Amino acid sequence: MPIRWPVEFEPAGSPVFVSNEMEIAAPAETVWAWLIRAESWPGWYPNSRNVRILEGSRPDLALGTRFRWWTFGVRIESVVREFEPCERLAWDAHAPGIRAYHAWVFTRAPAGCHVLTEETQHGFVARLGKFFMPHRMHRGHQLWLERLALKAREGLPSGGKP
């Protein structure tokens, strides 16, 4: 299942594009439950901090949820633009010098699920990051997948829905 890119964020026209994927040995519902529990990310994904839902019901992300957070040393404001439970999640991201789109696609697999995550970025800060630290975002997203897999093996988060 390919990412549904908004026209302005299609990879071919974006100066920054990263793609990571992983087979996770856990049900898609469990992996999904951890991913949409955004305010818990800092407890298991070290590249996030101060995640706060500004608009939308807690504790889970949903279509239209607006949240603010820090990642890669930058304070970001995001809005969930795509939300299909256990299949698709995407949000935009805005900060001075950065406009981004981060998408996740889940596909059921015999041993659990396959998770694809891709991001494109525009802006002068994004270009500087690509130049000075060309593999940083790819490594960060790989870590996110690895930590997500570890959390999913623990079972559902507290209050998580199967």
Q: What CATH class is the domain 14-153?
A: alpha beta
- Neighbour tally for 28: CB within 10 Å: 20
Contact predicate 109/26, CB 8 Å: no
At 87-109, the pLDDT tens digits run 999 999 999 989 999 999 999 99
> Which pLDDT score is estimated for 132?
65
Give the separation between CA 123 and CA 52, rounded to whole angstroms.
24
> Which pLDDT score is estimated for 1?
72
Q: How far apart are the first and last CA of the chain?
A: 22
SS3 state at 47: coil
At 29-52, the pLDDT tens digits run 999 999 999 999 999 999 999 999
Q: In sequence order, which residues have a C-beta less than 8 Å from that of residue 110 and are 6 or more positions away? A: none
Q: Is the pLDDT of residue 8 over 60?
A: yes
Q: Is the pLDDT of residue 160 over 70?
A: no
Cis peptide, bond prior to residue 59, ω within 30 of zero = yes
